[in-house]
Structure 1
Amino acid sequence: MKAEIINIHTLENYKLAIKREDLLFPDISGNKFRKLKYQIEKILMSDTRTLLTFGGAYSNHIAAVAAAGKKYQFKTIGIIRGEELGGGVSENATLSFAREQGMQLEFISREAYRMKESQTTIDDLKERYGDFYLIPEGGTNALAVKGCEEILTSDDASYDYICISVGTGGTLAGIVSSALPHQQVLGFSALKGTFQKEVVSIYTSNSNYKIVDDYNFGGYAKIDTVLVRFINEFKIAHKIQLDPVYTGKMMYGIYDLMEKQYFKENSRILAIHTGGLQGIAGMNETLKRKKLPRII
């Protein structure tokens, strides 16, 4: 499956295009579709018809898993970080959507959430829910990386740089694995730090990439008026919506690096739009409470 590529006119020394992975499916878009593709196939061929996973209040992964469960008719369970969220699902667009898709939500404390991958926690969950197929927070595992390897196709061979937003590192691992030898992959971390290198090294020995966290805007899901203004101006100029957690930060970083002449002259740059647009509603609620400009 190929995503549409849109050329964007920018500085005269560079040619920038954006690959619209976000348009693949309305509710399972971008890298979330890629990450879930082979995992869904495995579930549909097995006797286990329940998928359990983890996520936060505005998790793209939670929303995508819930939508996949409804579409392909298997049960989904979401273990959500934050006990206090249980009483306000109707006020949270992501969690409301997940519940509407049929996902069973369980809210646990942040302390308990930090232990979510322990064997004790998994055994306890199986005692309560029975057998289930487990996907980690963010969806990254070997099957997810395999799906993300398919983001790049032969149509992308002419690009010198491949840019991708980075969360847990699974999508980046797939891109790095499938990029051609002449291509440099640049990952824009949405979080502080470049710990995702450890994740990439699990799945590929390729070293044709770099992770930068200079554009995380203070950390995961953090945002300010500068980023909001950039996202809104980008939408007006190009008719393309960016999300505030991932792709907005990536595109801001790309533009800044072009201005700083980071890329080689006359380079062709491809930015991957990984979706995540469902999180805008929740972010706008946060911006409203802080009396800051909202994303249009």
Structure 2
Amino acid sequence: MKNDVIIIGGSYAGLSAAMSLGRAIRNVVIIENGKPCNAQTPYSHNFLTRDGSKPAEIAALGKEQVMKYPTVRFVTGKAVALNGEDLNFQVVLEDGQVFFSKKILFATGLKDLIPDIKGFAACWGISVIHCPYCHGYEYKGQDTGVLMNGAGVFEVARMIRNWTDRLSVFTNGPATLEIDQLKKLSEMNIQVEEREIDRFDHQNGILENIVFKDGSGTRLDALYARPPFEQHCSILKDLGCKIAGTGHVEVDEFQKSSIPGIYAAGDSTTLMRSVAAAVYTGNKAGAMINHELVAEGQ
């Protein structure tokens, strides 16, 4: 059977797209491996009607609602290859299953490349956080750090200061900020700490102290960090899809990739890395895919 759409990735963007397509009475297969990037995050914020909910609860409710549409079905597995062309794609799973569809939507997210600092991974998504809009309110007024170096540090630190004036920048080595930026940070009473970090002391992911390689340390409640990332699924890159300089999949205003018939949505496509943004781009992608199918007489 040739499906109308195969969605690779069944988290927020994939579910949102599936709902749009299910309501358009399209035959949809969602391929999901059950490994969301925010699995460790205890609560999700800044998403209207679900502020403070557990991410897994939001996803479970989304899946329950999507599954009410009889033309949508889920398949547990990992996509490892994509063959064919627009209106005639083949998706191959790791276990050998093959699915056919007219259009493809990638909603596979990003994979964070966690730095090799003891305690960082355990705290990631809990008290080591990436987005003040998602998590900053819960740490307002508390001892907070920014783990960054280079040109972007100044803007990030200036923004985070809106949530707390107890703020320090940790460059984990010699600072590479410009002189005038260092001066402005000092004027805002933001300390720049250049000592190399040995570990983060924590209790079940809740930060307590940052400890430097010289043995000294300082108390810390929260730390903002932006580790490098890569696409969670390499298929698009293998196909030669355009990847932006930021590392995101390059899409147009309709979520179309550079390859005809292939769309992308969610974290893999945007700097706005949040549940709300993923739901929005997925919803838009679903509608645009259906529009394209209608225009093609499908």
- TM > 0.5: no
Higher helix share: 1
Q: Normalization by structure 1: what TM-score?
A: 0.32
Q: Normalization by structure 2: what TM-score?
A: 0.32
Higher strand share: 2
Could you say which structure has the larger radius of gyration? Answer: 2
